[in-house]
Structure 1
Amino acid sequence: MTGRTRATMRDVALASGVSTATVSFVLNETAGQTIPEATREKVRRAAAELGYRPHSIARALREGASRIVVLEAGGLPPGTSLESFIEGLDTELSQIGFGLLVSYGSNHDVLSAISPRAVIDLPALYARPDRDIADGGWTDGLAAHTLTQVTHLAERGHTRIAMAVPTRTDPFFDLMSGHLRAAAAVLGLPEPPALAVDGTAETAARLRSLLAVGVTAVAGLGDALAVGTLAALTDLGLSAPGDLAVIGFDDTPIGALWRPALTTVHIDARAYGRRTARLVLGRPDTGPAPAPARVVQRATT
């Protein structure tokens, strides 16, 4: 069957020497059936060997909803953390017989057609005013990750820290910049001025102005923005970390490939994804807690 056609319940019945009804009772764990445990084990073994998977539409009709969880990620910046979160979410869901659909838009017609078991709206979570929730708070969320970033610079003696931000308006980066300003306040530092990074000559001019008023470090709201800062620094004939310390956020490949290699913040997003899968389906949160955000020390701080 493997590689050619999908195994059916009839195939499992033939392989295990029982009726299709018995296979259905066993695999669907139908209550009230007096089927010997040896027969049940034989059916399960045959199903496993054939790679049998219940048809999603039939299962949805039985259960009243599909075994699909939808992750809404529209508006979030792509990067290592989002990719890792999705990977962890998908892994955990797969282990308990669910599938994952990632949506980057708002096609509600599709959602109503598949009748998802649950919808995880990440942008909405980040937009919540309650910053103590796991995905945005000071305990182990986005605010805590940002504090890790700023603390790294403060521990190296930097008190005048700027933040590299995009030139466009972006709700997610607006949220991050708010967290960064709050992190600076927690550490007793002045409010970080913004360095708008867009890859043009104007970025270098803006950076020169910040250096002139005593800024000694820049925290990028993402690795790409931090690398843009390093490029502007090069345009000024200066370098990191001697003339300016620079730290990124999200531990993306671009930071490791840049020279000098970018110091950045790594988030255990895969563990967050696995935990979210358990929570959204009401399962016990028995997995390991996500590790705290950590600084990946490279050459720019």
Structure 2
Amino acid sequence: MAAASGVSRATVSFVLNDDPCQTISAATRDRVQQAARELGYVPHGVAKALREGSSRVVVLTIDTGMEGNYSRSYVRGLDAELDAHDHVLLVRHGRHTPRSTRQILDAIAPRAVLHFGEMYLTGHELDDLGGGWRDGLAAHSALQLRHLVDHGHTQVAVALPDTDSPLTAARLKFTGHAAMNMDVPVPGSFAVPQGRAACAEAVGAFLGDAPQVTAIAGFNDDVALRVLMALRDLGRRVPDEVAVIGFDDNGYGAYASPALTTVSVDAEAHGRLSARLALGHETGGLRPPPARVVVRESA
């Protein structure tokens, strides 16, 4: 390749590795890149790993219960940004142990290992890349409650999944803080089973014990859609008697009756920020767009 482009081997290496410490003219870069294309040059992953001390793989682990539209858009942004810097993303779903993580580290020596939502699981929830109350999960939880409060609902409950989710405690904490900031009672919470009859029983029992509640905020759209079904089975009118709002718009809420109002979060920028930080690159002022309420009929 050096012979074909008329430069030294060192210069070829600098261009192909995009070495920021070397000043190479645009014309020389073009000649080297053209030669690479004509010769069909493909980087040797193992050789790069030996030279750099790690592979060009970034591992992302997503625990069970944390999958959703937010995680999918986060992965899209993370993958796109890593690809732009010649890195590959490996996503692991499910329960993970220190031993399984160690096996990954030993097998492929990844450039970085990221844990989806890690700051919310370690008590550093306000240090997240979105700034917590600015455009992170805290702000998103507050936005969900704010929509209900702005529509006259001061007695609100949070509907939770009936399975353990690593984010449950963080969501309840953020919603509680938001309620105090809005000067409304801190919402109570209850679990919503998946079975139709059990779901209606749980919703009916909760509302029977808390008749003052006029709105229910779902942990996610899946839970909110269960609540809508239960209220219909109980003969409760939505939103006239009880308003319902979802979270993390999964797209199915538009087909419910009544259609589900929800909070939509575009997390691609969060994923891109994570990629740049993992690779040691400047973030370049990249800011996620604000979350938004998708107003439909249920709230």
Taking structure 2 as the reference length, what is the TM-score of the superposition? 0.86
1:96 has 2:85 as partner: yes
User: What residue is the counterpart of 1:113 in the other structure?
Assistant: 107
- The runs of 5 or more residues in structure 1 that have no matched partner are 1-11
Closer, same or farther: CA 188–38 of 1 in aligned 2, 3 Å = closer
User: What residue is the counterpart of 2:183 in the other structure?
Assistant: 188
Amino acid at match of 2:200: A
User: What residue is the counterpart of 2:196 in the other structure?
Assistant: 200
3-state DSSP class of the match of 1:120?
Answer: strand
How far apart are 1:21 and its partner, in Å?
A: 4.8
Q: Tell me the alpha carbon deviations over residues 26-69 of structure 1, each in whole angstroms, 9 at most, x when there is no partner.
A: 42468999999755422202434676441211111111111211
Q: Distance in 2 between matches of 1:183 and 1:147?
A: 5
3-state DSSP class of the match of 2:126?
Answer: coil
User: What residue is the counterpart of 2:267 in the other structure?
Assistant: 269
User: What residue is the counterpart of 1:85 in the other structure?
Assistant: 74
Q: Distance in 2 between matches of 1:241 and 1:206?
A: 19
User: What residue is the counterpart of 2:46 in the other structure?
Assistant: 57
User: What residue is the counterpart of 1:74 in the other structure?
Assistant: 63
Amino acid at match of 2:196: T
Q: Distance in 2 between matches of 1:127 and 1:24?
A: 42
2:65·2:164 contact (CA, 8 Å) conserved in 1? no
Identity of aligned residues (%): 44
User: What residue is the counterpart of 2:290 in the other structure?
Assistant: 292
Q: Distance in 2 between matches of 1:64 and 1:57?
A: 10
Per mean C-alpha deviation after superposition, the further-off stretch among 18-27 and 177-186 is 18-27
How far apart are 1:100 and its partner, in Å?
A: 1.1
1:132·1:139 contact (CA, 8 Å) conserved in 2? no
Q: Distance in 1 between matches of 2:133 and 2:24?
A: 52
Closer, same or farther: CA 188–50 of 1 in aligned 2, 3 Å = farther
Q: Distance in 2 between matches of 1:270 and 1:34?
A: 32
Closer, same or farther: CA 48–226 of 1 in aligned 2, 3 Å = farther
Per mean C-alpha deviation after superposition, the further-off stretch among 142-151 and 201-210 is 201-210
Q: Distance in 2 between matches of 1:149 and 1:35?
A: 51
Per mean C-alpha deviation after superposition, the further-off stretch among 48-57 and 30-39 is 30-39
3-state DSSP class of the match of 1:204?
Answer: helix
User: What residue is the counterpart of 2:252 in the other structure?
Assistant: 254
Partner residue of 1:132 out of 126, 134, 142: 126
The number of residues matched between the two structures is: 289
User: What residue is the counterpart of 1:179 in the other structure?
Assistant: 174
Closer, same or farther: CA 243–82 of 1 in aligned 2, 3 Å = same
2:119·2:128 contact (CA, 8 Å) conserved in 1? no
How far apart are 1:224 and its partner, in Å?
A: 0.3
Closer, same or farther: CA 250–32 of 1 in aligned 2, 3 Å = closer
- The runs of 5 or more residues in structure 2 that have no matched partner are none
Q: Distance in 2 between matches of 1:152 and 1:246?
A: 11
How far apart are 1:82 and its partner, in Å?
A: 0.1
Q: Tell me the alpha carbon deviations over residues 69-93 of structure 1, each in whole angstroms, 9 at most, x when there is no partner.
A: 1112123421110000010011111
1:240 has 2:229 as partner: no
1:248·1:262 contact (CA, 8 Å) conserved in 2? yes
3-state DSSP class of the match of 1:103?
Answer: strand
3-state DSSP class of the match of 1:125?
Answer: helix
1:150·1:184 contact (CA, 8 Å) conserved in 2? yes
Closer, same or farther: CA 164–33 of 1 in aligned 2, 3 Å = closer
2:66·2:166 contact (CA, 8 Å) conserved in 1? no
3-state DSSP class of the match of 1:298?
Answer: coil
Amino acid at match of 2:104: V
1:246·1:300 contact (CA, 8 Å) conserved in 2? yes
Taking structure 1 as the reference length, what is the TM-score of the superposition? 0.85
- RMSD after superposition: 2.8
Q: Distance in 1 between matches of 2:270 and 2:260?
A: 24
3-state DSSP class of the match of 2:239?
Answer: coil
1:177·1:221 contact (CA, 8 Å) conserved in 2? no
Amino acid at match of 1:290: P
Q: Distance in 1 between matches of 2:187 and 2:104?
A: 43
How far apart are 1:156 and its partner, in Å?
A: 0.3
3-state DSSP class of the match of 1:165?
Answer: strand
User: What residue is the counterpart of 1:8 in the other structure?
Assistant: none
